[in-house]
A and B are shown apart, each in its own frame.
Chain A
Amino acid sequence: QSVLTQPPSVSGAPGQRVTISCTGSSSNIGAGYDVHWYQQLPGTAPKLLIYGNSNRPSGVPDRFSGSKSGTSASLAITGLQAEDEADYYCRSYDSSLSGLVFGGGTKLTVL
């Protein structure tokens, strides 16, 4: 059971918009700690997608966006493409655990 809760899977057709939620608590996201998002393509190492809740590293398309409110964060992907099919993970810090925590991951399927 992960400290940060993500839906196990989401899906969408090419061109559509999908969102992935990351729900935490008052000891992590709700305490104001930043949320970061990582994309893991099949058979590869994770890659930074969104940092500091809503910032995109250079090279990441603006189809990807992040937001945070209260004890939750969200990753939105617009204009879905086949190459977006991957696992997505949120990550934050938890003061109760005094450590970093990941969400359980969400598998995105492009129909």
Chain B
Amino acid sequence: EVQLVESGGGLVQPGRSLRLSCAASGFTFDDYAMHWVRQAPGKGLEWVSGISWNSGSIGYADSVKGRFTISRDNAKNSLYLQMNSLRTEDTALYYCAKNSLAARDVGHFDYWGQGTLVTVSS
């Protein structure tokens, strides 16, 4: 059974940093691209970042480019999102999603985690 478990969310002040993790199990992690998607309270889904199977291709939404860094550790079956210079508008539930293919820009999200909540507030 595919499982994606996010962690690392919490309350943080504007300008500070936070690192999210996603522990994957139930599939061969290094065969697939992975993504982060967020959802602000009461709002729609927003793609944040994606990474190919071997970290060779990485992409970010314009809203987080230069502040967030996605990475993965295939030996640990884990996906990460380093979030720096956090803003109040980054407040959201952050989902980890498995891609159906190894490349990051093709395919679909076939499995999602339950999300971890990030609240940016002073």
- Tell me whether A and B are bound partners: yes
Chain A: residues with CB nearer than 8 A to chain B? 2, 34, 36, 38, 40, 45-48, 51-52, 57, 87, 89, 91, 93, 97-105
Contact present for B60 and A99 (CB under 8 Å): yes
Contact present for B45 and A34 (CB under 8 Å): no
What's the nearest-Cβ distance from chain B to residue A4, in Å? 10
A-B contact pairs, 28 of them (CB 8 A): A2-B44, A34-B108, A38-B109, A40-B45, A45-B113, A45-B114, A45-B115, A46-B37, A46-B95, A46-B109, A46-B112, A47-B112, A51-B100, A51-B108, A57-B110, A87-B44, A89-B44, A91-B45, A91-B108, A91-B109, A99-B62, A99-B105, A100-B50, A100-B59, A100-B105, A102-B44, A102-B45, A102-B46
Complex Cα spacing A91 to B95, Å: 15
Interface residues on chain B, number (Cβ under 8 Å): 23
Residue of B nearest to A99 (CB): B59
Q: Give a binary string over B90-115; 1 marks a CB under 8 Å from any A CB, 0 the rest.
A: 00000100001000011011111111
Q: Please tell me which one of the listed residues A48, A52, A105 contacts residue B44 in the complex, with CB atoms under 8 A apart.
A: A105
Complex Cα spacing A89 to B46, Å: 10
Interface of B is mostly: strand
A residues near B114, Cβ cutoff 8 Å: 45
A48/B109 contact (C-beta < 8 A), A97-B62, A99-B61, A105-B45 known: yes
Contact present for B45 and A46 (CB under 8 Å): yes
Contact present for A45 and B108 (CB under 8 Å): no
